[in-house]
Amino acid sequence: MKPMSSKERVMTVLACQEPDRVPVDYASNPGIHARLAAHFGLAPEDREGLLQALGVDFRGVGAAYRGPRLHPEIEGRRVDPLWGKRTRWITNPFGGYWDFCDFPLKDAGEEQVEAWPMPSPDNYDYASVRAACDRHKTRAVYVGGAGLGDIINSTGMLRTMEQVLVDLISEEPAGLRLIDRKLEIQLEVTRRTLEAARGAVDFLWMGEDLGSQRSPLISMALYRKHIRPRHQKFVDLAKSFNLPVMVHTCGSSSWAYEEFIEMGINAVDTLQPEAKNMSPAHLKKTFGGRLAFHGCISTAGAVANGTREDVVRNVRETLDVMMPGGGYCLSPTHQLQDNSPTENVVALYEAARAYGQYRQPATA
């Protein structure tokens, strides 16, 4: 087998076939990202350099927002200028993170939801999309991410997750309107972005958190009534451009995977192995060949809490289960956290290269 490009490798996996080696992906918090960059002699802002050093096969592209700030800054808070989500800095022994707070639309009615400033699809720079794709033409280029199409989690950042679940169960008009306003904008921005790419995007990535560690967050009936129809619009958009679709979903979420298959979704992301019915063996046995997999390396497991040897063992064990027949991309389950030792993360990617080969490339 000749060596594949990243693009060929990932697209082979999304078709549930065997590539030359397992593709790898990367996501991290700022603290561990800066330490990794320093390990490779790179500046923290040199993200592309770090992706190349780690052998990452994926690259995301999108249309940058060029419009006015829609939500004012607030002292002691970081305010999302487009959507108005608010966070505050919370420290921990390893650094800190921005945690959502205030929830300005928690008690909002329909009138307030309708008046809440949101970005116009007209204010995005679609002209730059194709050039970004061309810069990464040998990589697997995607549009979207875990927040595209997401309903429960991202709406909860404005309204609290508890209220969003109540909205879905009670069909609260204000909550449903907030969901639909956001999704209508995301869908249109995505459509224009894919048009601007002119065939240079390889797949669409969207998301929805559907499980706790032990169980579904919602019932199947509620999923089919409120989540699936809204997500289907994004899947149908991708299919109109002949693109595969990958869905990010945290926790115990395999209960929805048959629905994903019916919808035309090709791959699932995150795959927290410690959650119920999410072990690599269960996923491979139950859905292998029908869904591709992206994830499985827990950010709460050996990478954070084990030794370098534990990390290598975890990677090898995961590959032994997920590699046969293809259809697997190795990735952390979430963003690598700041409590992960640098040497463990380096070991993760070294092990992926060492043990993720399907066949040795032919030599002249």
* Domains, the chain, ordered by start: 6-66+119-355 (3.20.20.210)
Spatial separation of the C-alpha atoms in residues 241 and 235, rounded to whole Å: 10
Nearest to 196 by CA among 128, 117, 268: 128
What mean pLDDT do residues 37-56 have?
97
Per-residue tokens: 153: 């989690």
What mean pLDDT do residues 81-97 have?
95
Alpha-carbon Rg for the chain, nearest whole angstrom, is 20
Residue 362 confidence (pLDDT) above 70: no
SS3 at position 58: strand
Task: Identify the pLDDT of residue 2.
Answer: 86
What mean pLDDT do residues 156-166 have?
98
Using CB atoms within 10 A of its CB, is residue 361 exposed (0-12), middle (13-18) or buried (19+)? Answer: exposed
Comparing 90-94, 274-278, 279-283, which segment has the lowest mean pLDDT? 90-94
Cβ pair 323, 356 in contact under 8 A: yes
What mean pLDDT do residues 14-28 have?
98
Residues in the chain: 364
Residue 363 confidence (pLDDT) above 70: no
| % of the chain at pLDDT higher than 70 | 98
Spatial separation of the C-alpha atoms in residues 187 and 197, rounded to whole Å: 15
Cβ pair 246, 203 in contact under 8 A: yes
What is the Cβ-side half-sphere exposure of residue 95, based on CA atoms within 13 angstroms?
A: 14
pTM of the predicted model as reported, rounded to 2 decimal places: 0.96
Task: Identify the pLDDT of residue 364.
Answer: 38
Write out pLDDT tens, residues 221-241. Answer: 999 999 999 999 999 999 999
What mean pLDDT do residues 64-81 have?
98
Write out pLDDT tens, residues 313-354. Answer: 999 999 999 999 999 999 999 999 999 999 999 999 999 999
Task: Identify the pLDDT of residue 360.
Answer: 55
What mean pLDDT do residues 182-201 have?
98
Per-residue tokens: 43: 């500046």
Model confidence band, residue 246 (pLDDT cutoffs 50, 70, 90): very high
Write out pLDDT tens, residues 121-149. Answer: 999 999 999 999 999 999 999 999 999 99
Cβ pair 226, 168 in contact under 8 A: yes
